[in-house]
Structure 1
Amino acid sequence: MSEPAPESRTNATEYTVSEISGALKRTVEDTFGHVRVRGEISGYRGPHSSGHAYFALKDDRARLEAVVWKGTMSRLKFRPEEGMEVIATGKLTTYPGSSKYQIVIDNLEPAGAGALMALLEERKRRLQAEGLFDPSRKQLLPYMPRVIGVVTSPTGAVIRDILHRIKDRFPLHVIVWPVRVQGETSGAEVTAAVQGFNRLAEDGAIPTPDLLIVARGGGSLEDLWGFNDEALARAVAASNIPVISAVGHETDWTLVDLAADVRAPTPTGAAEIAVPVKADLEATLAGLTARLRSCISRGMDRKRQSVRAAARALPSPDQLLALPRRRFDDAVSWLERALVTGVERRRARLGATRLSPATLSRRIREWRVLADRDVMRAQVALRALAREKRNLFNRTADQLPKCADAARAAKRQRLETSAARLSLRPLLHLSEAARARLDTATRRHDLAVLSRLERLRGRLDQAQRLLSTLKLSEQAILDRGYALVLDASGTLIRRAAGVRPGEALELRFADGSAAAIATGGVARPAKPAAAKPAAKPGDPGRQGSLF
């Protein structure tokens, strides 16, 4: 068994954990009941779901836990941010559950204007780097807005100044979105107002403003801190409706002034920028109307004077038509003379070339001589061609049987020689097949030769028929009374220059031939007598010059 612990020999009072924690809590609260602590906010994550805020205040050597209850958070003039140096007013207490001491803050304020300005400059640099203050993003204000939206407090003097100024300059429809312009929630309310105006439907019950004015009166930096809210600056920069910022006095600058499309020095100045003066517009319109009427009147006078001057410079209708009328008269007289001259000229030409039976007979005789000459030339050419073809045909017919027999004998001799040399039975079969093919080729050759001879004989018969036709045509010419003059050798004499005196000639008529002797030189053709009838064929009177 273990020995019992020895009894404590000290007389110090024993405390429980709760007792010592309560004693420390009372001591701290009694000693530091109301304190002001300066430090930097650390670990701030915004209000808890319960509405309380928990963070710490620190400096370069120590750290103090801090808590802001929900009721106190709604009364703060600005929202705490991470890294902000502040002065916290409250009381110190302990939290027995974790053996920590903390300050319960009743009031929170920036640690001087320098800290707020540093925070403002840091926000300004960040937003400017994003391009929210770029002049190219700013919109132009409408010259004549129909509806103006105002975001401000409905109970202050700012809204009355704006409404009064708009009414004096140009009365129109003004929509006021009431917000708080100071305190912890002012930035969020103004942001919601700007976004709400942009979400209005065009055909809704509330008309969409053409212009927004964000306005507030003057105040300190802490009073205007809600208009330095980053979310508000982004909402103003993203607004589809042009925004005029009128926050504070002329020397007060906020982030809203930089993000807005136009900054007004005062709320009254914003109203003056938003709308023109109606009386000035009416006076300007009246002046422009008068100038327009004067210009129109002067222009009409100048046009009227120009028309009159042009009318004086234009000639009269008689002067304009004088030259065309003269040309028309000249053309009429020239046309009459031209028609008479043309008719006389054609009448004279017709009289000079009057047709007569003698002229027609002479032309017919000339054409008949030319036709007879062409026919005789064709007959001679056809006879020569027929003789040549007949000779060629005869030579070919004589040579074909000999060539066929020689070829047949040569092929048979080659086959017999080959058969004598080859003793094998397959070769004999080949020889028989070759002999059969030779016989077939020989028969085909004979048929081809006979067919060729028949075609040539047909062509020869056709040429003979054509020659006989030409002879018949020649006989028809002789039947009409013409005669052929041949020399002693039977050659046709075509011209009188080819006849020599004393030369024996043969005259071929339609019914026979007669001998003649040339007694003189070239006889001149006698002029045809129009009154005498044409001589009949075979009439001796037509050959009188040849005997």
Structure 2
Amino acid sequence: MTQDLDQTTPIIAAEPRPGSNLPEYSVGDLARRLKRTIEDEFGFVRVRGEISQPKKHSSGHVYLRLKDDTAVIEGVCWRGTVAKLAIRPEEGLEVIVTGRMTTYPGRSQYQLVIETMELAGEGALLKMLEERKRRLAAEGLFDPGRKKPIPFLPTVIGVVTSPTGAVIRDILHRLNDRFPRHVLLWPVAVQGDSAAAQVAAAIQGFNRITPGGPVPRPDLIIVARGGGSLEDLMAFNEEAVVRAAAASAIPLISAVGHETDTTLIDFASDLRAPTPTAAAEMAVPVRAELLAQLLDGQRRLVAGSGRLLAEQRTRVEGLGRGLGDPRALLEGCAQRLDDRAERLRMASVSLLERRRTRVGELSAKLRHPREKLMQASQRLASESRALDGALRQAVTATRGRLERVTARLSLRPSRIKAAEGERRLEDLTPRLDRGYAKLLEQRSARLATAGQLLESYSYKGVLERGFALVEDATGKPLTSAADAAPGLPVTLVFADGKAAATMDGGAPRHEPKPEPKPEPELAAAAPAPAPKPRAERKAAEKKPYKSPVQGSLF
């Protein structure tokens, strides 16, 4: 393994070889002599060139090459020096570095140990800024869609700037003139090697403040600095500052330099102000203007409300003149209500009288149950007689046909014909029996129907509906109020039994009597109607039976 030769190691030349005046050196001796010679000759140099193949080792050292159109020099920047560099080594960047030349005997090469590094000129610096701007824009950090709106009247404003410069005083003075607000100052260095890191940390620190905590969280951040050269404003062109501004959740106003100065933070911020004073003006409105606007709006609102009320009052008065007197309207309505109430009362009385009269008429049209029973009995007797006559006629006719058939059969000489006649007689006999049974069944059904109709005409059905039959001591029904003498013992017949009662001495009410009807005894004594001819009875039997419909008592 080859070791570096320390320049303090003594170089001892070997004795000259016999026959030669040149001393002999070992490889290490020659390398140390070269190293010492180069370091003595080039102990402090300033070199201008383009950075090529920069590489940061895991140990923290940075290795690179400086080249131009004719040569290449290896360069190394130790870890402690890397942190102090003003710019970060990047590919293709033209820089001016200062340091010392040395050699690396392990590879037989010379290299430049870099102590400082700066850009080669403003053109190279602008080229670097354009390249950085293009790269950050490609990542979307300058996208207008990412920008947040500035609050109209922030409660707390965070300012990132130098605590000793005139910027903070200008901002506070302008805020007090326009609209005093609570201001939080985060002091940072705005120029130098550590300025970029401090500005980025301040932006991130404001965003990390918890809302509602002991320290109020800003509603707006202002990053401000006064004017200066391009090199003085380089801290606000650093990638760390640009990324912190783009990632800020709090709206941010950048106010770096004068109006003509432009830094990369201006593209990443939510709003750019030409000067720190202009940033304060953009942050808050003018309080006096707001008060004037508020008073003007109040005046216009009061005037508009007065005009609206006056117009509505005039309209209501005009509509009121077209309306009638409410008292007169109410009096007319009250009179109509009394008239309707009186007519309703009279109509209800009239309706009850009409219904009472109608019930009387319907009750007068009702036939007495005895009369209906007598008619049903007569009709039943007539049907029975007609049934008996028809049965006798049918038997007589059948017997005559049987005799005629028997006579015809007896006149035939052949025994075979006699057997046929007997067989036909045997066939007719079951048919005659079946016809007679069917006729009896039909007449029995009609008799049962007549019995049901007779039962429906019975006065017992009326008693079941809540009426009562009044009988005297002899069991004769009382059908007139004149028969109900005072003190007369009567019997009230109900559907489920009888009850004894006595008539009181009250005067009977005289109501129109229905037309007198024949008494059941007289109806019973009347001669029975003559039986109808046979043809008429058959025609009546063929007609469908219609049950009479009994009217309602109500």
The partner residue of 2:186 within 166, 177, 190 is: 177
Alignment deviations for residues 440-461 of structure 1 (CA, whole Å, 9 cap, x no partner): xxxxxxxxxxxxxxxxxxxx9x
Match runs of 1:507-522 below 5 Å: none
Does the 8 Å contact 1:379/1:467 carry over to 2?
Answer: no
The partner residue of 1:293 within 284, 302, 312 is: 302
Unaligned runs of 5+ in 1: 1-6, 385-459, 478-527
Return the alpha-carbon distance in structure 1 between the equivalents of residues 363 and 327 of structure 2. 53
Question: Are the structure 2 counterparts of residues 288 and 49 from structure 1 closer, same or farther at C-alpha, using a change threshold of 3 Å?
Answer: farther
The answer as to 2:537 corresponding to 1:542 is no
The partner residue of 1:45 within 55, 67, 72 is: 55
Match runs of 1:150-299 below 5 Å: 150-299=159-308
Return the alpha-carbon distance in structure 2 between the equivalents of residues 216 and 279 of structure 1. 28
Does the 8 Å contact 1:93/1:101 carry over to 2?
Answer: yes
Return the alpha-carbon distance in structure 1 between the equivalents of residues 76 and 528 of structure 2. 165
Letter in 2 for 1:139: K
The answer as to 2:11 corresponding to 1:11 is no
Paired position in structure 1 for 2:506? none
Question: Are the structure 2 counterparts of residues 373 and 101 from structure 1 closer, same or farther at C-alpha, using a change threshold of 3 Å?
Answer: farther
Letter in 2 for 1:59: D
Q: 1:65: how far off?
A: 1.8
Alignment deviations for residues 499-519 of structure 1 (CA, whole Å, 9 cap, x no partner): xxxxxxxxxxxxxxxxxxxxx
Return the alpha-carbon distance in structure 1 between the equivalents of residues 280 and 230 of structure 2. 24
Q: 1:117: how far off?
A: 1.7
Letter in 2 for 1:155: T
Letter in 2 for 1:224: L
Aligned-pair Cα RMSD in Å: 4.6
Any idea what SS the aligned residue of 2:522 has?
coil
Alignment deviations for residues 309-361 of structure 1 (CA, whole Å, 9 cap, x no partner): 33333211343135435544654675577578667766876787784999776
Q: 1:292: how far off?
A: 2.7
Any idea what SS the aligned residue of 1:251 has?
coil
Return the alpha-carbon distance in structure 1 between the equivalents of residues 241 and 42 of structure 2. 40
Paired position in structure 1 for 2:34? 24
The answer as to 2:311 corresponding to 1:302 is yes
Any idea what SS the aligned residue of 1:44 has?
strand
Alignment deviations for residues 234-277 of structure 1 (CA, whole Å, 9 cap, x no partner): 22112111111111111111211001110111111111111112
Does the 8 Å contact 1:77/1:182 carry over to 2?
Answer: no
Paired position in structure 1 for 2:89? 80
Question: Are the structure 2 counterparts of residues 118 and 361 from structure 1 closer, same or farther at C-alpha, using a change threshold of 3 Å?
Answer: same
Any idea what SS the aligned residue of 1:88 has?
strand
Does the 8 Å contact 1:29/1:92 carry over to 2?
Answer: yes
Alignment deviations for residues 383-432 of structure 1 (CA, whole Å, 9 cap, x no partner): 99xxxxxxxxxxxxxxxxxxxxxxxxxxxxxxxxxxxxxxxxxxxxxxxx
Return the alpha-carbon distance in structure 2 between the equivalents of residues 357 and 255 of structure 1. 118
Paired position in structure 2 for 1:123? 132
The answer as to 2:67 corresponding to 1:58 is yes
The alignment's TM-score, normalised by the length of structure 2, stands at: 0.63
Return the alpha-carbon distance in structure 1 between the equivalents of residues 200 and 379 of structure 2. 122
Letter in 1 for 2:49: G
Return the alpha-carbon distance in structure 1 between the equivalents of residues 517 and 224 of structure 2. 137
Comparing 143-152 with 106-115, greater Cα deviation is found at 106-115
Q: 1:468: how far off?
A: 13
The alignment's TM-score, normalised by the length of structure 1, stands at: 0.63
The alignment covers a number of residue pairs equal to 415
Does the 8 Å contact 1:79/1:184 carry over to 2?
Answer: no
Comparing 264-273 with 20-29, greater Cα deviation is found at 20-29
Any idea what SS the aligned residue of 2:149 has?
coil
Q: 1:13: how far off?
A: 1.3
Return the alpha-carbon distance in structure 2 between the equivalents of residues 529 and 88 of structure 1. 152
Return the alpha-carbon distance in structure 2 between the equivalents of residues 359 and 165 of structure 1. 120
Return the alpha-carbon distance in structure 1 between the equivalents of residues 25 and 184 of structure 2. 69
Does the 8 Å contact 2:371/2:520 carry over to 1?
Answer: no
Does the 8 Å contact 1:217/1:249 carry over to 2?
Answer: yes
Letter in 1 for 2:199: V
Letter in 2 for 1:187: A
Unaligned runs of 5+ in 2: 1-16, 394-436, 455-515, 532-554
Does the 8 Å contact 2:374/2:520 carry over to 1?
Answer: no
Question: Are the structure 2 counterparts of residues 56 and 365 from structure 1 closer, same or farther at C-alpha, using a change threshold of 3 Å?
Answer: same
Does the 8 Å contact 1:250/1:265 carry over to 2?
Answer: yes
Q: 1:138: how far off?
A: 0.7
Does the 8 Å contact 1:78/1:183 carry over to 2?
Answer: no
The answer as to 2:100 corresponding to 1:91 is yes
Does the 8 Å contact 1:139/1:242 carry over to 2?
Answer: yes
Question: Are the structure 2 counterparts of residues 30 and 323 from structure 1 closer, same or farther at C-alpha, using a change threshold of 3 Å?
Answer: same
Return the alpha-carbon distance in structure 1 between the equivalents of residues 387 and 240 of structure 2. 121
Letter in 1 for 2:522: A
Question: Are the structure 2 counterparts of residues 40 and 152 from structure 1 closer, same or farther at C-alpha, using a change threshold of 3 Å?
Answer: same
The answer as to 2:312 corresponding to 1:324 is no
Any idea what SS the aligned residue of 1:296 has?
helix
Question: Are the structure 2 counterparts of residues 354 and 238 from structure 1 closer, same or farther at C-alpha, using a change threshold of 3 Å?
Answer: closer
Question: Are the structure 2 counterparts of residues 373 and 244 from structure 1 closer, same or farther at C-alpha, using a change threshold of 3 Å?
Answer: farther
Letter in 2 for 1:39: G
Question: Are the structure 2 counterparts of residues 355 and 147 from structure 1 closer, same or farther at C-alpha, using a change threshold of 3 Å?
Answer: closer
Does the 8 Å contact 2:380/2:447 carry over to 1?
Answer: no
Comparing 334-343 with 206-215, greater Cα deviation is found at 334-343
Percent sequence identity over aligned pairs:
51
